[in-house]
Amino acid sequence: MSQLPPPPPPAAAGNQYGAEHAAAKKAVALAARLCKKVQQDLLKLDIQTKADRTPVTVADYGSQVLVSLVLKMDLPSNSFSMVAEEDSEDLRKDEAQEMLEHITKLVNETIINDGSYSITLSKEDVLVAIDGGKSEGGPSGRHWILDPIDGTKGFIRGDQYAIGLALLDEGKVVLGAMACPNLPFKSIGDRNGGSSGDQVGVVFSATIGCGSTVETLGGSQPQKISVCSISNPVDASFFESYERKHCMRDCTSSIAEKLGIQAPPVIIDSQAKYGAIARGDGAIYWRFPHKRSKESVWDHAAGSIIITEAGGLVKDASGKDLDFSKGRYLDRDAGIIATNKYLMPLVVKAAQEAMKEEGILG
C-alpha cells in the first residue's frame, strides 16, 4: 500500500518532551511484559471460554501499577497526575485480598526480571500506585492518560490488546506510547490480523512535532512510519472494532457503500487499529458507537497522536478535532474517524449522510 513520506524529524535537542517520551515507552513495554505472562497463563487454562474475568482484572491492575511506577521513578515530580481506568476500591475489600496478593507478586516479579529498579512493592504500595490514576484531567497542567489494557475481550481471547499512554499538556495531547504485544511488527496482511512476518509485539510512539515510530517490543531501532497516501476510497480498506457495541455495523456498511469501498472490513480489538493505520496497513479506522455511549479519553489519546504525527487526521463525525481537555470523557459528536488528509473530507461527508439516514443526526 502506498504511503505518504514521513516528515523529517527535527533535531533531538528540539524535543522538549524527550525524557517523558523515553519514560512512556519504557512504561508501556514493562506493563506489556506482565500482561503477556498473564495472557499466556490464561490461555493455558482456557479461561477465555468462561465468565471469569479475574485474569484480565489482574493484568489491568498490574499494568497500571507498573506504568505509574516507571513514570514516578524516571520523572520525579511533586505534581504527578494520571487519568486512568482503574482505582483500588474493590481491591481494598476483604474478599479481594488473595487477588491483591497475586497482583503484588506479579508486579514484583516483573520488576525483578526487568532489572531497572531495585525496589520491592508492598500491597499498600500497589494500592497507592493504582490510585495514582484518579485524576480528572482537564485543560490546565500536565496529566498522563492511561488505558492499562485496551481491548479486554481481545486479551481474554488471546487476540489483540494494547497498553496506551499519552501526555496531556495544557489540554493538548503532546506524546503517546502504545504497546501492542500481539500485533505483528510487519503489516497486517489479511482481515483476521495475519502477518507478512514472524516478529510479534510492537511499541508505537509519537511526540508532537517529531513524527511517529514503531519498534519491536524488545526495543529494536525505531522506524519512522506514515499513513497511506490513497486518495480514492475505492482503493481503501477500513478497520472496525471487534466489539459490536463500539460500532453500528448497519451505519458503517452504509458509509462504506457510499464511498464505494470494495474491501471487507478488517476487524480487530483495541487501539492497535490506530497503530496499524498510522503505519499504512489500512486507510481508514472508524468508530460509531451506539447512541448515548460515552468515549473515555484513555481509549483514544495515545492512538490519536500516533496517527496525527504519522501524517494522518483524527476527527469526530462532524470533522472536528477531538478535545481531550474536558476531563475523563471526550467531548465529541457521534463518531470517530482516523484516516489521511485526502480521504477525511470524503469519509466525513459519507458518515454525515449515513447517520442522517439512520436517524442518528437531525
- Which residue, 225, 257, 284, sits at the end of a domain? 225
Number of domains composing the chain? 2
Query: Considering the domain boundaries, does residue 174 fall inside one?
Result: yes
Same domain for 271 and 350?
Answer: yes
Mean pLDDT value across residues 255-270: 92
Side chain identity, residue 149: I
- pLDDT value, residue 3: 60
Is position 255 within any domain?
A: yes
299 annotated among ligand-binding-site residues = yes
The stretch 3-16 carries a mean pLDDT of: 54
The answer to whether residue 90 sits within a structural domain is: yes
Same domain, 183 and 280: no
Indicate whether 2 belongs to any domain: no
Per the domain annotation, does 242 fall within a domain?
Answer: yes
Identified catalytic residue from 57, 104, 152, 213 = 152
The reply to whether 139 and 248 lie within a common domain is: no
Count, in order, helices (H) and strands (E) of the chain.
Answer: 9, 12
Could you tell me if residue 8 is inside a domain? Answer: no
CA–CA dist 71, 69 (Å, integer) = 6
60 catalytic, yes or no? yes
Residues 310 and 214 in one domain: no
128-173 residue pLDDT tens: 999 999 999 999 999 999 999 999 888 988 899 999 999 999 999 9
* pLDDT band, residue 48 (cuts 50/70/90): very low
Q: How far apart are CA 62 and CA 31, in angstroms?
A: 7
The per-residue pLDDT for 153 is 85
41 is in an annotated binding site: no
Same domain, 324 and 289: yes
The answer to whether residues 295 and 195 belong to one domain is: no
Q: What does the pLDDT look like over 222-245, one tens digit per residue?
A: 999 999 999 999 999 999 887 766
**CA gap 205, 179 in Å, rounded:** 9
Span of 17-26, 149-158, 207-216, 309-318 with lowest mean pLDDT? 149-158
Q: Are 129 and 253 in contact (CB under 8 A)?
A: no
Sole residue written with cell 489540554: 171
136 labeled part of a ligand binding site: no
Q: Are strands 336-339 and 82-84 parallel, antiparallel or unpaired?
A: unpaired
C-alpha dihedral, 100 to 105 to 110 to 112, nearest 10°:
140
Cα–Cα distance, 254 to 170 (Å, whole number): 38
Whether 322 maps to a domain, the answer reads: yes
Which domain CATH number covers 315?
3.40.190.80
Please give the order of strands across the beta sheet that includes 82-84: 82-84, 142-150, 162-169, 172-184, 200-207, 211-216, 223-225
Q: Are residues 215 and 73 in the same domain?
A: yes
Q: Which one of 186, 208, 225 terminates a domain? A: 225
Residues 259 and 284 in one domain: yes
Answer yes or no: is 358 a known binding residue. no
What is the Cα–Cα distance from 262 to 188, expressed in whole angstroms?
A: 18
Please say if the pLDDT value at position 49 is more than 70: no
- Do 187 and 297 reside in the same domain of the chain? no
Q: Flag whether 147 is marked binding.
A: yes
Which domain range does residue 334 map to? 233-357
Domain identity same for 78 and 220: yes
* Residue 170, domain CATH: 3.30.540.10
Q: Is 12 left (phi over 0), alpha (psi -120 to 50) or beta?
A: alpha
